[in-house]
Chain A
Amino acid sequence: MIKYIVRRLLGAIPVLFGLSIILFAFIHLLPGDPAATILGQHARPELVDAMRHRLGLDLPLWQQYLNYVGDLLHGDLGRSFVNNRSVVDDFFVRFPGTVELTLAALAFAVGLGIPMGRWAARKPQSFSDGFITVVSLVGVSIPIFVLGLSLQYVFAVQLHILPASGRIDPRLQVPYTTNFLLIDTLLAGRPDAFVDSLRHLVLPAIALGSIPLAIITRITRASVLDVTHEDYVRTARAKGLTEKRVDGRHIMRNAWLPVVTVIGLQVGGLLAGAVITETVFAWNGVGKWVVEAIEAHDYFVIQSSILIFALIFLLVNLVVDIGYAFLNPRIRYS
């Protein structure tokens, strides 16, 4: 098992290496001179040269690359072109919002998707199965922004039961400590603010979670149906086990395996989807930060955020694979 984890960790190294090259190229192969881009088109040549020097752009390319990787290894992602703030610092201010949103969306997708998939698998071809199939089809086919805007319109504009955007009502004035608002509100002893930030979370989480919900529902249904026809399930019944036990211990324990893999695969989609969701709901997270950076042509921020997203994605996949190995003795013991 330890060997497996080590092997997986080592396997990530070439990917990280490749990633650093691509992201390095991203800045250095930009059409035009980054220094000129930063300073604007009409900057004086001496200023541009000074900027080039400051950014190390006058060094040979290989040295620039080494510097870049060296900085990365020190956890230095550079500074924003636009406001000269440290990218890492900004990231950590924004990141908790994205984590909150992504986890909420994942909880929504898993919490609803697995029961729905099991329910649909219980009676294949029945009405409820058909209904769930249609729901999950629409779920994968509806873009986050269309669903998000519709939810906003119905629940916020028309029904006024949930807030349309933001993470919390700014009038509540909660001190930010961790930037996880659900935690900060509790730390501040403000249940009212906690409820308010929870209410803000509902619509974005649904919008972001709809695609994973659909996919998890489908894979759960398919996986449960698959396992239901396995010989060992028949053996379990032949032994005289109760239906509850057959279902919980023999079917679900096995049906989980592909579901776990798919849940892991959703994380990439969730991070990417967060970019759009945060834009729709004015949610102050990494996604919105990226979009703002694109609008401002703030290349270091774009570069770094892509790197961080990829790192998180790789890390989550690693955790999921280990979890999978843990659930599956065929891997655990080999």
Chain B
Amino acid sequence: MTTTTPPPAPAPTAAGAAGGVASVPLLSVRDLVVRFRTQDGTIYAVNGIDFDLAEGETLGIVGESGCGKSVTNLAIMRLLPKPAGRIERGRILLDGQDLVVLSESEIRAIRGRDVAMIFQDPMTSLNPVLTIEEQMVETIRAHRTTSKEEARARAIELLEMVGIPKPETRLKAFPHQFSGGMRQRVMIAMALALDPRLLIADEPTTALDVTIQAQILEILARLATESGTALILITHDLGVVAGMTKRINVMYAGFVVESATTPELFALPSHPYTIGLLHSIPRLDSDGDEDLIPIEGRPPDQRVEPVGCPFAPRCAWRIDDCWSDNPGLAAIDGRAAVVMTGPAATHRIACFNPPTHDEALAGRPLREGFRPAPPPGTLPEDTGFEGLGSEEALEALEPQGAEHSPLLPRDEALLDAGRDRGQYPGDADRDSHR
């Protein structure tokens, strides 16, 4: 477990000062900014995110399509598509070593050996013209000086571990002779070939049959735990991360908007987007007649530099500041000292006007007379904001029985109350992210 005050990165030299064994986390991402330069302009894919990962820890990253989950992790591997994708800013420290500044050959030594990755689509992630054996053996031999026979023996051992029957004969097969689930097992086996310290699984089950998904996740979880490999699991599916990970980062439009331990995130979801996510999926334990509230509107166009809170156009809680300032990720209780990893990790959100627990349960603001702040430059009565979120959706989000007068002013008192409750990140923290 590491204790630190973000955003300054933990100084490697401070390690051991507190008497802890591992005061340097395995992975420490600081102020990571990734952009794509394309013909259609710049794409602001990842906009300054911070997170740590301890040795052996499991972290889930959730968020809707395009929010930057894959890009974040490709950046860690330094595998962003060239030449469009670039790490513009930030540090990615693995054991205190900054991966961003490593040379191509230095990062290559780390890929596959220290950090391994499993991709979404097992149908396309294996080379169709090479046998499983060739692909596994070359992985092992890229990092270890072993004979082909030794590498082959290791490959058999790995295939056994992931539950592939008759591995000796299957080694000679080509990918197209395997089913999707089997291929993903091969990918897992290959990723674990060199006992990496960090395994990144990017939606490893999205492309698979529902019945296979559970098996693959079980294998992944078991092997990661057995080998003490830290795991980053990327997914759309909150249900998956709930069972698989100890901690969750919720991403939205290239920002981490909420970060908490898994139990805490589900018990006390605090960011409007997280709340929206939880309300938009059916819960397995519900009796079925629970109201699903879809998140209206679309994620922002990432071709424009983000201004303000990225969720503002779709947020029922937004206030005027949300349009102009970016709420940095900060402790939910306003404390300055933040625990970045482990079971006592600080619950952090990026929000100016956090919903209360009751509102989180209801999925909408419950404050008397509260209306989301209209976009800047519009008259108060001008509630439609260019197609982002439909009128009906806003009305659905409106407090029950509230007056629907377009001229209703924002209730400053309520906001102040929210601030007084201490759910509001300090200004200093907020500004540090811009």
Interaction A to B: yes
Q: Which residues of A are in contact with B by a Cβ distance under 8 Å?
A: 229-232, 234-243, 245, 249-250, 253-254, 257, 327-330, 333
The chain B residue sitting closest to A232, CB to CB, is B127
Which of A240, A254, A257 makes the CB contact (< 8 A) with B127?
A254
C-alpha gap A329/B117 in the complex (Å): 26
A250 touches B127 (CB 8 A): yes
A231 touches B121 (CB 8 A): yes
C-alpha gap A253/B134 in the complex (Å): 13
Q: Please list 12 pairs of residues, one from A and one from B, whose beta carbons are closer than 8 Å in the complex, sorted by A's number.
A: A231-B119, A232-B128, A234-B79, A234-B119, A239-B111, A240-B111, A240-B112, A249-B130, A250-B130, A329-B174, A330-B174, A333-B177
When A and B form their complex, which 7 residue pairs have the shortest distance between CB atoms, in order from nearest? A240-B112, A240-B111, A231-B124, A239-B112, A232-B127, A329-B174, A239-B139
Q: Which residues of B are in contact with A by a Cβ distance under 8 Å?
A: 77, 79, 81, 104, 108-113, 116-117, 119, 121, 124-131, 138-139, 142-143, 174, 176-177, 187, 190
Which of A239, A242, A249, A254 makes the CB contact (< 8 A) with B190?
A239
Collect the chain B residues with CB atoms within 8 Å of residue A236's CB: 127
C-alpha gap A235/B119 in the complex (Å): 8
Collect the chain B residues with CB atoms within 8 Å of residue A229's CB: 81
- How many A-B residue pairs have C-beta atoms within 8 angstroms? Tell me: 81
Collect the chain A residues with CB atoms within 8 Å of residue B129's CB: 253-254, 257, 327-329
| Minimum CB–CB distance for A203 against chain B, Å | 38
| Minimum CB–CB distance for B335 against chain A, Å | 38
Q: Which of A240, A253, A333 has the most CB of B within 10 A?
A: A240
B138 touches A238 (CB 8 A): no
A238 touches B111 (CB 8 A): yes
The chain A residue sitting closest to B83, CB to CB, is A123
Report if A238-B128 is in contact (Cβ < 8 Å); known contacts: A330-B174, A333-B177: no
C-alpha gap A234/B108 in the complex (Å): 12
C-alpha gap A235/B190 in the complex (Å): 10
B138 touches A239 (CB 8 A): yes
| Minimum CB–CB distance for B360 against chain A, Å | 38
Collect the chain A residues with CB atoms within 8 Å of residue B112's CB: 238-241
A237 touches B138 (CB 8 A): no
C-alpha gap A328/B176 in the complex (Å): 11
| Minimum CB–CB distance for B363 against chain A, Å | 37
C-alpha gap A245/B143 in the complex (Å): 13
Collect the chain A residues with CB atoms within 8 Å of residue B127's CB: 232, 235-236, 250, 253-254
Report if A240-B113 is in contact (Cβ < 8 Å); known contacts: A235-B125, A254-B128, A330-B128: yes
B108 touches A240 (CB 8 A): yes
B142 touches A242 (CB 8 A): yes
C-alpha gap A24/B278 in the complex (Å): 77
Known: A232-B127, A242-B108. 16 other contacts (CB 8 A): A231-B119, A231-B121, A237-B79, A237-B111, A241-B142, A245-B138, A245-B142, A253-B127, A253-B129, A257-B129, A328-B128, A328-B129, A329-B176, A330-B174, A330-B176, A333-B177
Collect the chain B residues with CB atoms within 8 Å of residue A231's CB: 119, 121, 124-125
A238 touches B130 (CB 8 A): no
Collect the chain A residues with CB atoms within 8 Å of residue B176's CB: 329-330, 333
| Minimum CB–CB distance for B184 against chain A, Å | 12
C-alpha gap A107/B304 in the complex (Å): 51
A239 touches B142 (CB 8 A): yes
| Minimum CB–CB distance for B212 against chain A, Å | 19
C-alpha gap A229/B174 in the complex (Å): 21
C-alpha gap A242/B177 in the complex (Å): 27
The chain B residue sitting closest to A124, CB to CB, is B83
B110 touches A240 (CB 8 A): yes
Collect the chain B residues with CB atoms within 8 Å of residue A241's CB: 108, 112, 138-139, 142
The chain B residue sitting closest to A256, CB to CB, is B129
Q: Which of A231, A242, A257, A330 has the most CB of B within 10 A?
A: A231
The chain A residue sitting closest to B104, CB to CB, is A243
Collect the chain A residues with CB atoms within 8 Å of residue B139's CB: 239-241
| Minimum CB–CB distance for B111 against chain A, Å | 4
C-alpha gap A236/B112 in the complex (Å): 9
Collect the chain A residues with CB atoms within 8 Å of residue B187's CB: 235
The chain B residue sitting closest to A233, CB to CB, is B127
Collect the chain B residues with CB atoms within 8 Å of residue A237's CB: 79, 111
Collect the chain B residues with CB atoms within 8 Å of residue A254's CB: 127-129
Which of B81, B111, B126 makes the CB contact (< 8 A) with A232?
B126
C-alpha gap A235/B127 in the complex (Å): 9
C-alpha gap A236/B111 in the complex (Å): 10
Collect the chain B residues with CB atoms within 8 Å of residue A257's CB: 129
Q: Which of B108, B124, B126, B127 has the most CB of A within 10 A?
A: B127
Q: Which of A235, A245, A328 has the most CB of B within 10 A?
A: A235
Collect the chain B residues with CB atoms within 8 Å of residue A253's CB: 127, 129-130
C-alpha gap A242/B128 in the complex (Å): 19
| Minimum CB–CB distance for B85 against chain A, Å | 12
C-alpha gap A243/B142 in the complex (Å): 12
Collect the chain A residues with CB atoms within 8 Å of residue B125's CB: 231-232, 234-235
B174 touches A238 (CB 8 A): no
